[in-house]
Amino acid sequence: MKVFLYPNLSKPHSRQCTDEACTILASEKAEILMEDQYSGLIGNKHEVCFSSLTDCVRRCDVIVVTGGDGTILRCSAEASKFDKPILGVNCGTLGFMTSLECGEIRRLSELFKGEYTISERMMLSVTVRYSDGKVLSADALNDAVLAHGEATKIADFEVSKSGITVSELRADGIIFSTPTGASAYSLSAGGAIIEPDIQCIEFSQVCAHSLFSRPIVFTPDSELSVRCNCSQDGYAVLSVDGAILARVTNGDVVEIKRSELKTRLIDLTGGSFFTSINRKLMKPLKQ
């Protein structure tokens, strides 16, 4: 088995977890692949093949991420293009998409016994069509967020579905999320928790200037578009999975729909999504 080890060494315990992962993978006779940037940072006690990100993803059978949800988001963009499954080991804070905690790294050997399930997660296709004809696109596992820029204190957004206006609102920003991303920024903005295996698109508002702003859940085949009306010299910022993709201003259109790509997440523990929600988002009841 060829395993692409994708760490985030800025996370606490990630270096130790990555070293332990190397030891376990080597004991299972796996071929370990890593990006070139780690060639001088990872010890030489195990044989590791270093290459570019794209080459590692293309050649591997499975990706093991030692980091957090943000690390999985960065990895998913490339992994989904090659349909490679991801096993997450949480070295971050919440780790909703990870299967193991760093203290459970020994269970990594179960991967070689086939003792796991795979969850296919819906992604969003996000396209910016500029007024000058330029087109920019990306795919999101979590969400696409439009928020006012520095020169615009608040923006007006017009959201449409198949050419029909759904909402006209003034707000700090708006969020389009997948079910996977519903437990992230959308949840903080008042959106609903959605089981990640459901197919849908959730629309939430950030600090809307309205008494009746509510999240909306669209069918997965919905084709949505957004126009921003900003003040002179103002703009909105479009972020995809937390990374800034573009500036959007008057005359530009942002389109959101279900992506043809999917992210495949490996689960070794068989844990329930709601068990994770209860453990990581809700305080235990006082006895």
More confident residue, 39 or 84: 84
Does residue 240 form part of some domain?
A: yes
Does residue 286 form part of some domain?
A: no
Least confident of 50-64, 72-86, 96-110: 96-110
Q: Which two tokens stand for residue 258?
A: 């279900």
Whether residues 140 and 255 fall in one domain: yes
Q: Which domain holds residue 91?
A: 2-116+268-281
How many CB atoms within 10 Å of residue 155?
Answer: 25
Percent of the chain with pLDDT over 90: 75
Whether residues 224 and 242 fall in one domain: yes
Does residue 287 form part of some domain?
A: no
Q: Is 22 helix (H, G, I), strand (E, B) or coil?
A: helix
Q: Is 108 helix (H, G, I), strand (E, B) or coil?
A: helix
Mean pLDDT of the chain: 91
Whether residues 185 and 226 fall in one domain: yes
- 3-state SS of 57-86? HHHCCEEEEEECHHHHHHHHHHHHHHCCCE
Q: Which two tokens stand for residue 97?
A: 């998409």
Radius of gyration of the chain from Cα atoms?
Answer: 20
Does residue 36 form part of some domain?
A: yes
Contact call for residues 204 and 175 (beta carbons, < 8 A): yes
* Number of structural domains the chain divides into: 2
Whether residues 104 and 188 fall in one domain: no
Whether residues 149 and 111 fall in one domain: no
Pairing of strands 100-101, 243-248: unpaired
Does residue 32 form part of some domain?
A: yes
What does the DSSP assignment read for 128-185? EE-TTS-EEEEEESSEEEEEE-TT-SSEEEEEEETTEEEEEEEESEEEEE-TGGGGTH
Whether residues 101 and 132 fall in one domain: no
Whether residues 52 and 143 fall in one domain: no
| Type of residue found at 185 | Y
Q: Is 249 helix (H, G, I), strand (E, B) or coil?
A: coil
Backbone angles phi, psi at 225, to 5 degrees: -140, 150
Does residue 173 form part of some domain?
A: yes
Whether residues 139 and 244 fall in one domain: yes
Whether residues 134 and 108 fall in one domain: no
Average pLDDT over residues 146-158: 81
Q: Which residues are catalytic?
A: 69
Whether residues 62 and 136 fall in one domain: no
DSSP count for the chain of H helices, then E strands: 5, 18
Residue 285 has pLDDT above 60, yes or no: no
The pLDDT tens digits for 244-269 are 999 999 999 999 999 999 999 999 98
pLDDT for 225: 98
The label of the residue with tokens 């729909």 reads: 257
Does residue 219 form part of some domain?
A: yes
**Spatial distance between the Cα atoms of 107 and 40, rounded to a whole number of angstroms:** 27
pLDDT for 92: 76
Whether residues 244 and 143 fall in one domain: yes
Q: Which two tokens stand for residue 257?
A: 């729909």
Pairing of strands 31-35, 2-7: parallel
Percent of the chain with pLDDT over 70: 95
**Spatial distance between the Cα atoms of 262 and 225, rounded to a whole number of angstroms:** 21
Average pLDDT over residues 124-151: 94
CATH of the domain at 85: 3.40.50.10330
Query: Which pTM value belongs to this model?
Result: 0.91
CATH of the domain at 127: 2.60.200.30
pLDDT for 269: 85
Instruction: Identify the band that residue 230 occupies on the pLDDT scale cut at 50, 70 and 90.
Output: confident
More confident residue, 209 or 52: 52
The pLDDT tens digits for 35-59 are 999 987 775 667 899 999 999 999 9
pLDDT for 287: 38
Does residue 159 form part of some domain?
A: yes
Residue 231 has pLDDT above 80, yes or no: no
Whether residues 146 and 165 fall in one domain: yes
Average pLDDT over residues 267-274: 80
